[in-house]
């Protein structure tokens, strides 16, 4: 099968030619106007309409529902939060960090409950996540991760696996151990987008596609097609947030790129232990992510694509032959037996990164503005949590989720250019350098330790 290099995600197979929804027909008034029909916008609409079916909810989307990261991600719904629990504790409290991790764990199950209750067929499978240790430095970090989690108080969050146990999960080359958590599910993201969008429309919500938003004001959303006046506006724009002048330095868009293989022969899947639905990566610093799909393919993605000057986002960045080839080479390092298997899809897309890597969810009633994100690449699950929190804040509903440290967290702004360009790309190079350092020395990287101290990311 030919290598599809036009940037179309695997997940869009069979749906790329779907008829678009109509654009905004003119000036309208509504209770809640949501800008962005990705996971954040759709989960927010879902929970609002579930709580109050009388609400008038309108979702505005520049392209089509799921065009952004929600339809381009690697298919993990995990309990990973991009900032370490130690950093959360430093900024808030130990209790807040524990509550946040518990909420993230619960979110994985919540998504499974919703797709079951609403009969959304999105290939949801909760078989957990294994992070492989494939050199001595990674093995040291694996032990430290498990020990650190236990000392912190998130007992049982991670389980250490020796080499033999790890290979029963994923039989990759060079495995010398791993850590495993049950708090991760796999899903087909575009099917989840479609299912949520259909539910929202069936319950009175309206989704307008091909409707670019020019300006978000106090209770207003202005477009070339007309103005939406609302009691509450929800900004759910993730990596596209910097395209609004008022938020130009709030978010840095980083590209994550992905490939998919042709369906693997059953005997090959079995020998590599890719015949289950376990998410996996290894413990390198420049993140990768992979999983076997429901139809027997291997999806394999990673970071490393450069940040583009002035936070530029463009469809031409969705395919980067150099970075995609590096991702394929990494996949072949994991599984040399896949060298002769066809790559059928190459795609990518931007994810949003705040200056402190800390996602936030908030509501300013005076400005009639709510928001959620960005999620630093961990948004498939976190957007569901955000949707429930936004429901609570908008409807003024008491809930323990409202006390989580993400609520009304304010991240500092990114530096002005060209400092932002130098800083973000230097961070990407530092992560790659840290991985090289560990392969050469066999010891945890000093570069990575400094990077984590600066960002709080892990």
Tokens, residue 451: 């990077």
Predicted local distance difference test score (pLDDT) of residue 443 = 82
- Angle among Cα 85, 86, 91 to the nearest 5 degrees reads 95
pLDDT of residue 2: 46
Of 164, 167, 228, 188, the C-alpha closest to 34 is 228
User: What is the per-residue DSSP string for 56-71?
Assistant: -EEEE-SS-TT-SGGG
Tens place of pLDDT for every residue, the chain, 458 residues? 445 568 999 999 877 667 899 999 999 999 999 999 999 999 999 999 999 999 999 999 999 999 999 999 999 999 999 999 999 999 999 999 999 999 999 999 999 999 999 999 999 999 999 999 999 999 999 999 999 999 999 999 999 999 999 999 999 999 999 999 999 999 999 999 999 999 999 999 999 999 999 999 999 999 999 999 999 999 999 999 999 999 999 999 999 999 999 999 999 999 999 999 999 999 999 999 999 999 999 999 999 999 999 999 999 999 999 999 999 999 999 999 999 999 999 999 999 999 999 999 999 999 999 999 999 999 999 999 999 999 999 999 999 999 999 999 999 999 999 999 999 999 998 888 888 878 878 888 776 666 566 565 66
Given this model, what pLDDT does residue 273 score? 98
In the chain, % helix, strand, coil (3-state, to 5) comes to 40, 20, 40
Distance CA 276, CA 125 (A): 9
Of the chain, the end-to-end C-alpha distance in Å amounts to: 38
Beta-carbon contacts of 259 under 8 Å, excluding residues fewer than 6 positions away, are: 299, 300, 301, 324, 327, 328, 331, 343, 345, 346
Q: Torsions phi, psi of 319, nearest 5? A: -125, 125
Please tell me the distance from the alpha carbon of residue 391 to that of residue 46, in angstroms, as a whole number. Answer: 9
Question: Residue 433 has what pLDDT?
Answer: 87
Residue with tokens 């409290």: 93
């Amino acid at each position: 099968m030919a290598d599809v290099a036009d940037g179309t995600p695997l997940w869009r197979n069979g749906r790329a030619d779907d008829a678009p929804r109509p654009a905004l027909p003119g000036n309208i008034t509504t209770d809640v106007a949501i800008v962005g029909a990705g996971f954040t916008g759709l989960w927010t609409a879902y929970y609002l309409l579930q709580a109050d079916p009388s609400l008038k909810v309108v979702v505005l989307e520049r392209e089509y529902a799921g065009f952004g990261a929600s339809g381009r991600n690697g298919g993990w719904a995990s309990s990973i939060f991009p900032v370490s629990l130690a950093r959360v504790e430093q900024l808030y409290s130990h209790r807040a960090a524990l509550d946040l991790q518990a909420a993230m764990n619960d979110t994985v199950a919540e998504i499974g409950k919703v797709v079951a209750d609403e009969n959304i067929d999105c290939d949801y499978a909760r078989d957990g996540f294994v992070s492989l240790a494939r050199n001595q430095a990674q093995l040291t970090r694996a032990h430290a991760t498990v020990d650190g989690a236990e000392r912190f108080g998130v007992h049982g969050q991670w389980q250490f696996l020796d080499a033999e146990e790890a290979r029963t999960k994923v039989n990759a080359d060079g495995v010398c151990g791993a850590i495993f958590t049950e708090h991760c599910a796999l899903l087909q993201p575009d099917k989840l987008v479609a299912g949520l969008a259909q539910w929202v429309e069936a319950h009175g919500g309206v989704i307008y596609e091909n409707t670019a938003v020019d300006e978000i004001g106090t209770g207003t959303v202005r477009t070339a097609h007309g103005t939406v006046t609302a009691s509450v506006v929800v900004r759910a724009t993730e990596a596209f947030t910097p395209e609004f002048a008022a938020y130009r330095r709030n978010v840095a868009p980083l590209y994550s790129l992905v490939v998919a293989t042709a369906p693997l022969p059953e005997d090959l899947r079995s020998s590599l232990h890719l015949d289950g639905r376990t998410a996996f990566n290894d413990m390198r610093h420049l993140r990768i992510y992979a999983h076997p799909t429901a139809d027997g393919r291997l999806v394999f993605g990673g970071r490393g694509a450069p940040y583009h000057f002035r936070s530029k986002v463009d469809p031409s960045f969705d395919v980067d032959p150099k970075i995609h080839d590096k991702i394929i080479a990494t996949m072949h390092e994991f599984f040399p037996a896949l060298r002769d298997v066809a790559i059928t899809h190459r795609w990518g897309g931007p994810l949003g990164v705040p200056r402190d890597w800390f996602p936030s969810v908030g509501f300013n009633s005076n400005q009639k503005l709510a928001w959620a994100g960005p999620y630093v690449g961990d948004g498939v699950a976190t957007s569901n949590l955000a949707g429930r929190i936004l429901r609570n804040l908008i409807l003024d509903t008491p809930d323990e989720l409202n006390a989580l440290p993400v609520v009304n967290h304010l991240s500092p702004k990114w530096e002005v250019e060209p400092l932002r360009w130098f800083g973000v790309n230097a961070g990407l190079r530092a992560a790659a350098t840290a991985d090289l350092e560990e392969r050469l020395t066999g010891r945890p990287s000093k570069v990575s330790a400094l990077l984590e101290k600066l960002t709080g990311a892990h």
